[in-house]
């Protein structure tokens, strides 16, 4: 277990220095433990040597005693024989008979021999044998303390049939000389068998006279081959004899002795290391989470489409890569610490931002458009800035702010381009009517200030129409471009040349002197006429010649405003045109006429004159609008971007679009259309264009096409130039208003979508169902979104609509409840082609820009198209391991809605946002996919009489008594169906969980009152949700409920389940309030997370409940699970906490829990959760399903055998004898198995360690095979 945790620590991407800090305490404890254990092992070796020394000494004393006794016997025999007869070869039979009887009773002696005085011949023996002794006299050694006692050598005598030690007693004559010897060969087998069987020692007895071996005693047997040499040996001399005992022992014996003594220490040391590993694991997890959050933050920042800057006191703290790229920096670190003033292109821009800070501080956020930003290379870009204060709840410091920089340079360039297009002719590049309308009044104002004249000349080409008719419009366009270039080159820089359209131009000549105006005009216009004096090349080798007619009006002689001057010049031009054949000058001055027309008021595009003119032209507009729409979309489709959008329209939709375009043109040019109406409609159109993928460039292009096609259509009519000019002036202004508003609406629409991505994420720990509803409501409110939904497949692979928002939600729910419209995971089914199905299978983002034309969705066309669905997008929301956990889907009201570049970016960012929301949320693992209507019914029913508190007893495993029950919430439907909590709890918000707790507590205390009245005194425990615990009113709710029902606080236990999302400080404060109240606290699901283990010793819990998830692993990983459960029980016992084992589902689990020391248990094997009214009868009738003190299951036997092997202290406290496995083998008929033999070997004390290991592995295998025994 330690190894797996350490591997988890080192396998993650954590800096080496952080990893070193994490594992350093573990290494120190491990080093200290190893050093201490080495010392203990050395002590065990020394103790083994001491024990061996004592055993060898005892063995030596036993051998010496036997030898002393034998010499006494020899002396007795010698004395008896000497007194019996003087003929030593014929002793008295009366003496011989008792000697023979003695030999019969003492088989260690072979015979009594009488030998000659030199000891080389046997004179007589109790055993018939050769007269030659086994050893001659000179081979015997006398004792220094008694020379009459002699020891001979050790012989492997064939005469005796075994190894013998020769012993003699010297009998002297009266003269003190040797008379004879009495000897006896002493069998070594019984002599050396002095030790008891079962001892671990090996005794080798050696002859110190010649270093020979007498024999070896080992494991109850005597052998005469030399024992294997070993360094682990001690010596003990046999007192009084030239022999020594060498005691040796198995190499593993000190280790065994060490292990017997070390188990308790190792359990403590490993427990300490386990806690350090768990602590390091938690810290590593926090580091990984922090790094993950940092990486996620960096990913979100660096993938954002805007530059983001965190600043304090107007200095950059942090910036994302997008901001650095915008400014031309390779790395954002190059910007950190620098003043924000360096970002802005000018002091004016810096002051604009500085002046916004008071509003930022007072309002919390601010928006500053169009700020010039300086890049590293000195170039500038234009950005919109959005600032927001970052509030520090602890310090209330408002000096830190986050700024978003949106690069709108392209938009400004487009606006500049649009302004140029609006003020310049697309064909010639000259200023157009709109520019003329702006610059002519400015020229008049300058002339008025300087007291000079201004000439306004209106030019119309002569003989231009034949060029178009002969060579085509393309050649005519080329001629106009060349003419414009020539004319522009013949004018002064202060003069203005503008094109009104077709072949009409206007020239503005300033700074004319009142006295010299005729001369100045003559010179200037003569020079201008040079533009048409040379032919124009219109094709290879082909040229054409055109003329010019011009009417000139002078300010202030002919008029004091632009419109009257143009009108006068127009009149003069037509007079010149009328005399084209007989005129002397190509231009005519208006003031040279006999009569001046009456002065008219200025022409206003939305004024009465424009209304009257447009009213007269309605028949013309009706005729050209359809032709205009056809040609408009034909030419627009030639560009790639618009073509991609139009490709998603079917023929009917395309025709409808053309009709709408024609109607829109008629609307713009309708006489009574106001500027406000155009702006209002343009706002809607801009939104639609943004959603279908039309960008700013396409809109500008369409404006140019509008202008060009409209002028072409009007030029083809017979209206006068003046009327055409006024019509184009009115149309230009209305087109400009329409286009500008659409561009603004387009930007606003895109910004709305981006704002949805920037919305605050839900707080950690919020229910997934609640966060899902909030997010879907936000997305469904976006423009163009018909419906947004989350769908999850059930166990059958059928997608269920778990939450939805937006238009037609009820209709879509009704559709998806019908089986033939429910998307499926099966790819071979037509219903498996739904967008959510394919997105789930591919784990990607998929969209359809033409939902009605996509044959894959044909099964849903009849239902969805009437609801307005024209496009769709779906994506899979992936969990931590990369597997789909939900599918998100949106329906769009417009074709191509999710296909544009910015929209695809939005959807990808939205996927990341969904996955982050999911990670932040609490979602029970056993939650089920429910249809929305079912979820609504469950929520309503729960608080409308549907809550039923079921009771599950907590049983004392030693006595079988019941002192407490756990109250469990169940939902009882009107038809009596009981819904488990895993289904309805995920549907509740924090407020819903608070309400459920208060209602459940009230019911539970009422049940206690009812039982008390029946004479049944039982305590009760209720689950307290983490969110409810943190509510400031929680303790008040509990205190009030206890007071109202008259229940003593100590009879109520609140079971707390910790989550990673909970605020530890707030939790501790809330728990302190409950402790002061007097209720008991229990930690629920111990073992399901590191946080519980870490805080077990800190928080004042009265009891701990071991997670039932651990019990389910007992038959999958028996040894690991038994070890972990034992550790948790020991921890609880050491911390003086009552321990309850949950999830006891069979007799084997109950026996295992009892063997491992659990005091209380809870689970289906004891009692299922039951209605409260059934509890009294159950308590009276309940009997323990197992008999305390006995074991009848494999799992119980395994737990017992593990306890004996791994924890001697635990084994000593078990109320079980050593015959538990034997009883099980007899009950199951396993007496003849190898396991029974190992069990017998253990009881016999033979090779216990090896047999125990084999038996344990056999039990593990049987437990895994047999899931019920």
* pLDDT, tens digit, 9 for 90 and up, residues 629-685: 777 677 767 767 677 777 777 788 778 778 887 888 888 888 888 999 999 988 998
* Packing angle, helices 651-668 and 675-692, rounded to 10: 160
Predicted confidence at residue 770, as pLDDT, reads 81
pLDDT at 962: 92
CA dihedral sign of residues 880, 885, 890, 891:
positive
Cα–Cα distance, 1153 to 1126 (Å, whole number): 9
Q: What digits encode the pLDDT tens for the residues 747-762?
A: 899 889 988 888 888 8
Q: Taking 60 as the threshold, does the pLDDT of residue 1208 lie above it?
A: no
Token reading at 55: 């055993």
Q: For 906-940, what is each residue's pLDDT tens digit?
A: 999 899 899 888 888 855 544 455 666 677 788 78
Instruction: Write down the pLDDT at residue 720.
Output: 61
- Residue 69: partners with Cβ closer than 8 Å, 6 or more residues away: none
Lowest mean pLDDT among 208-212, 489-493, 537-541: 537-541
Structure tokens at 917: 């929301």
Residues 6+ apart with CB under 8 A from 268: none
Q: What is the pLDDT of residue 785?
A: 95
Phi, psi angle pair for 988, to nearest 5° = -100, 140
Q: Is pLDDT at 412 greater than 70 in this prediction?
A: yes
Q: What is the mean pLDDT of residues 1030-1057?
A: 91
For the ranges 129-138, 929-938, 966-975, the one whose mean pLDDT is highest? 966-975
What pLDDT is recorded for position 969? 93
Residue in this structure with the two tokens 């024999």, named with its chain if needed: 215
* pLDDT of res. 605: 82
Calculate mean pLDDT across residues 558-579. 86
The mean pLDDT of 864-868, rounded to a whole number, is 91
pLDDT at 11: 43
pLDDT attached to residue 444: 92
In this prediction, residue 189 carries a pLDDT of: 85
- pLDDT top residue among 974 and 1127: 974
Residue 640: its pLDDT value, please?
Answer: 72
Over residues 299-305, mean pLDDT: 70
924 or 1264: which carries more pLDDT confidence? Answer: 1264
Instruction: Give the SS3 label for residue 1197.
Output: helix
Distant-in-sequence, close-in-space partners of 468: CB < 8 Å, separation ≥ 6: 475, 476
Which residues partner with 113 through β-bridges? Answer: 125, 183
> Is the pTM higher than 0.75?
no
d(CA 709, CA 631): 8
Say which residue the tokens 């979104």 belong to: 785
Indicate if the pLDDT at residue 159 is higher than 80. Answer: yes
pLDDT at 1205: 74
pLDDT winner (highest mean) among 657-671, 1008-1022, 1222-1236: 1008-1022
Please, what is the average pLDDT of the chain? 82
The pLDDT score that the predictor gives to residue 459 is: 92
Reported confidence tier of residue 143, pLDDT bands at 50, 70, 90: confident
- Cβ-proximal residues to 330 (8 Å cutoff; 6+ apart), any chain: 324
Going by pLDDT thresholds of 50, 70 and 90, the confidence category of residue 9 is very low
326 and 381 in contact (C-beta within 8 Å)? yes
Token duo for residue 976: 């009596």
pLDDT more than 90, % of the chain:
19
DSSP 200: -
Q: At what angle do helices 1147-1155 and 1118-1134 cross, to 10 degrees?
A: 50
pLDDT at site 1059: 55
Q: Is the pLDDT of residue 410 over 50?
A: yes
Most confident of 122-126, 281-285, 818-822, 1014-1018: 1014-1018
Report DSSP letters for 901-958, one per residue: HHHHHHHHHHHHHHHHHHHHSB--TT-----HHHHHHHHHHIIIIIEEEEEEEEEETT
pLDDT for 1220 equals 65
User: Of 327-336, 536-545, 966-975, which gets the smallest average pLDDT?
Assistant: 536-545
**Cα torsion 844, 848, 852, 856: sign:** negative
Using only the alpha carbons of the chain, give its radius of gyration: 54
At residue 762, the pLDDT reads 85
**pLDDT tier at 105 (50, 70, 90 boundaries)?**
low
How many other β-carbons are positioned within 10 Å of the β-carbon of residue 762? 18
For 1063, the 3-state DSSP assignment is: coil
Pick left, alpha or beta for residue 1237 (phi over 0 → left; psi -120 to 50 → alpha; otherwise beta). Answer: alpha
- Measure the CA–CA gap between 728 and 711, rounded to whole angstroms: 7
CA distances to 463, 500, 782 from 876, in Å: 68, 57, 21
H or E element: which one contains 506? strand 504-512
Output the furthest CA–CA distance in the chain (Å, rounded). Answer: 200
Q: Which residue has the higher pLDDT, 929 or 1181?
A: 1181
Tokens of 630: 């056809």
pLDDT greater at residue 65 or residue 230:
65
Average pLDDT over residues 1098-1106: 82
703 has pLDDT over 80: no
Given a cut of 60, whether residue 598 has pLDDT beyond it is no
Q: Name the range with the highest mean pLDDT among 286-295, 598-607, 681-690, 885-894.
A: 885-894
Contact 1, 258 (CB under 8 A): no
Mean pLDDT score, 960-964: 91
Judge residue 811's burial from the number of C-beta atoms within 10 Å of its C-beta, 0-12 exposed, 13-18 middle, 19 or more buried: middle
- Domains in the chain (CATH in brackets) are 52-252 (3.30.450.20), 303-407 (3.30.450.20), 415-592 (3.30.70.270), 608-756 (1.10.490.10), 761-923 (3.30.450.40), 949-1181 (3.20.20.450), 1186-1269 (no CATH)
Residue 203 in this model has a pLDDT that exceeds 80: yes
Cβ pair 107, 190 in contact under 8 A: yes
How many other CB atoms are there within 10 angstroms of residue 1205's CB atom? 16
Q: Between residues 777 and 469, which one has the greater pLDDT?
A: 777
């Amino acid at each position: 277990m330690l190894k797996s945790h350490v591997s988890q620590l080192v396998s993650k991407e954590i800096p080496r220095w952080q990893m070193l800090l994490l594992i350093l305490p573990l290494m120190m404890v491990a080093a200290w433990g190893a050093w201490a254990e080495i010392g203990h092992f050395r002590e065990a070796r020394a103790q083994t040597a001491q024990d061996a020394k004592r055993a060898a000494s005892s063995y030596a004393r036993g051998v010496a005693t036997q030898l002393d006794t034998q010499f006494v016997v020899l002396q007795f025999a010698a004395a008896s024989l000497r007194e019996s007869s003087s003929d030593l070869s014929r002793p008295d039979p009366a003496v011989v008979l008792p000697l023979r009887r003695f030999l019969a009773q003492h088989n260690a002696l072979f015979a009594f021999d009488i030998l000659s005085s030199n000891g080389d011949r046997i004179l007589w023996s109790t055993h018939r044998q050769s007269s030659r002794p086994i050893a001659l006299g000179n081979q015997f050694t006398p004792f220094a303390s008694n020379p009459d006692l002699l020891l001979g050598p050790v012989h492997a005598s064939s005469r005796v049939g075994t190894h013998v030690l020769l012993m003699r007693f010297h009998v002297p004559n009266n003269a003190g000389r040797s008379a004879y010897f009495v000897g006896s060969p002493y069998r070594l087998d019984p002599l050396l068998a002095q030790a008891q069987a079962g001892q671990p020692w090996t005794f080798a007895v050696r002859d110190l006279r010649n270093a020979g071996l007498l024999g070896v005693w080992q494991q109850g047997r005597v052998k005469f081959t030399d024992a294997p040499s070993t360094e682990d040996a001690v010596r003990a001399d046999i007192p009084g004899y030239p022999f020594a005992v060498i005691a040796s022992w198995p190499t593993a014996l000190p280790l065994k002795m060490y292990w017997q003594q070390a188990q308790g220490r190792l359990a403590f040391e490993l427990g300490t290391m386990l806690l350090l590993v768990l602590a390091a694991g938690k810290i590593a997890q926090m580091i990984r989470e922090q790094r993950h959050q940092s990486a996620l933050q960096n990913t979100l920042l660096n993938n954002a489409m805007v530059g983001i800057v965190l600043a304090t006191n107007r200095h950059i703290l942090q910036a994302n890569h997008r901001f650095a790229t915008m400014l031309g920096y390779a790395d954002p670190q190059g910007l950190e610490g620098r003043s924000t003033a360096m970002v802005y292109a000018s002091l004016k821009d810096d002051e604009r931002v500085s002046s916004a800070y008071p509003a930022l501080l007072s309002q919390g956020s601010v928006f500053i458009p169009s700020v010039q930003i300086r890049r590293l290379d000195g170039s500038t870009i234009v950005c919109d800035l959005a600032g927001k204060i970052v509030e520090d709840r602890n310090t209330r410091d408002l000096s830190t702010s986050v700024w978003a920089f949106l690069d709108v340079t392209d938009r400004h360039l487009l606006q500049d381009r649009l302004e140029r297009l609006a003020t310049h002719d697309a064909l010639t590049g000259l200023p157009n009517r709109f520019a003329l309308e702006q610059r002519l009044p400015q020229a008049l104002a300058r002339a008025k200030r300087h007291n000079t004249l201004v000439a306004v000349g209106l030019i119309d080409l002569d003989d231009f129409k034949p060029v178009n008719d002969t060579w085509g419009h393309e050649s005519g366009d080329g001629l106009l471009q060349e003419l414009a270039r020539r004319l522009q080159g013949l004018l002064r820089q202060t003069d203005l040349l503008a094109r009104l359209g077709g072949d009409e131009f206007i020239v503005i000549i300033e700074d004319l002197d009142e006295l010299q105006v005729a001369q100045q005009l003559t010179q200037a216009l003569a020079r201008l006429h040079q533009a048409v004096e040379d032919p124009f090349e219109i094709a290879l080798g082909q040229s054409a010649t055109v003329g010019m007619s011009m009417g000139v009006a002078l300010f202030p002689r002919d008029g004091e405003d632009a419109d009257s001057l143009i009108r006068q010049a127009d009149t003069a031009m037509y007079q010149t045109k009328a005399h084209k054949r007989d005129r002397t000058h190509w231009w005519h001055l208006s003031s040279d006429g006999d009569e001046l027309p009456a002065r008219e008021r200025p022409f206003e595009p939305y004024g009465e004159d424009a209304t009257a003119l447009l009213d007269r032209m309605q028949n013309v507009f009706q005729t050209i609008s359809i032709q205009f729409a056809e040609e408009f979309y034909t030419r627009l489709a030639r560009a790639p971007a618009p073509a991609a959008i139009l490709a998603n329209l079917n023929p009917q939709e395309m025709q409808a679009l053309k009709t709408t375009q024609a109607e829109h043109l008629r609307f713009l040019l309708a006489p009574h259309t106001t500027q406000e109406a155009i702006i209002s409609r343009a706002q809607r159109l801009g939104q639609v264009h943004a959603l279908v993928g039309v960008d700013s460039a396409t809109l500008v292009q369409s404006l140019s096409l509008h202008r060009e096609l409209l002028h072409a259509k009007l030029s083809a009519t017979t209206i006068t130039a003046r009327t055409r000019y006024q019509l184009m002036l009115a149309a230009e202004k209305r087109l400009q208003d329409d286009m500008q508003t659409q561009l603004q609406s387009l930007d606003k629409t895109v910004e709305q979508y981006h704002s949805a991505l920037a919305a605050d994420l839900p707080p950690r720990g919020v229910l997934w169902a609640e966060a899902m509803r909030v997010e879907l409501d936000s997305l469904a409110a976006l423009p163009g979104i018909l419906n947004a939904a989350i769908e999850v497949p059930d166990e059958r692979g059928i997608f269920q609509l778990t939450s939805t928002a937006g238009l037609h939600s009820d209709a879509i729910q009704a559709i998806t409840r019908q089986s033939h419209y429910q998307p499926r995971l099966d790819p071979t089914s037509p219903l498996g082609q739904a967008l959510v199905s394919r997105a789930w299978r591919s784990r990607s983002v998929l969209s359809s820009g033409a939902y009605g034309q996509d044959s894959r969705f044909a099964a849903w066309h009849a239902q969805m198209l009437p609801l307005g669905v024209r496009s769709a997008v779906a994506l899979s929301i992936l969990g931590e391991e990369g597997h789909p956990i939900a599918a998100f889907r949106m329906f769009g009201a417009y074709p191509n809605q999710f296909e544009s570049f910015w929209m695809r970016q939005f959807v990808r960012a939205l996927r990341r946002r969904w996955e982050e929301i999911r990670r932040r949320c609490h979602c029970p693992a056993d939650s089920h996919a429910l249809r929305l209507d079912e979820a609504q019914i469950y929520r309503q029913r729960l608080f409308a009489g549907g809550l039923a508190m079921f009771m599950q007893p907590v049983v004392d495993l030693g006595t079988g008594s019941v002192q407490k029950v756990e109250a469990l919430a169940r939902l009882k439907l009107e038809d009596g169906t009981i819904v488990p909590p895993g289904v309805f709890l995920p549907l509740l918000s924090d407020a819903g969980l608070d309400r459920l707790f208060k209602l459940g507590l009230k019911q539970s205390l009422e049940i206690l009152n009812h039982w008390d009245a029946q004479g049944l005194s039982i305590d009760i425990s209720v689950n307290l949700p983490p969110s409810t615990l943190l509510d400031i009113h929680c303790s008040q709710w509990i205190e009030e409920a206890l007071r109202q029902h008259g229940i003593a606080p100590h009879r109520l236990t609140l079971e707390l389940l910790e989550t990673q999302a909970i605020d530890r400080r707030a939790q501790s404060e809330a728990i302190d309030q409950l402790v002061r109240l007097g209720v008991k606290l229990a930690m629920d699901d111990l073992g399901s997370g590191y946080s519980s283990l870490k805080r077990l010793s800190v928080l004042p819990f009265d009891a701990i409940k071991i997670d039932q998830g651990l019990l389910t692993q007992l038959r999958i990983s028996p040894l690991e699970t038994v070890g972990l459960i034992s550790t948790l029980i020991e921890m609880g016992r050491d911390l003086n906490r009552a321990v309850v084992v949950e999830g006891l589902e069979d007799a084997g689990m109950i026996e295992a829990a009892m063997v491992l020391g659990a005091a209380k248990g809870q689970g289906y094997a004891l009692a299922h959760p039951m209605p409260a009214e059934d509890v009294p009868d159950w308590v009276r009738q309940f009997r323990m399903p197992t008999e305390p003190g006995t074991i009848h299951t494999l799992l119980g036997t395994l737990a017992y055998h593990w306890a004996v092997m791994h924890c001697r202290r635990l084994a000593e406290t078990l109320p079980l004898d050593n015959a538990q496995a034997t009883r099980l083998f007899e009950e199951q008929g396993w007496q003849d198995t190898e396991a029974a033999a190992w069990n017998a070997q253990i009881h016999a004390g033979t090779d216990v360690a090896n047999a125990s290991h084999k038996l344990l592995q056999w039990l593990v295998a049987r437990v895994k095979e047999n899931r019920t025994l």
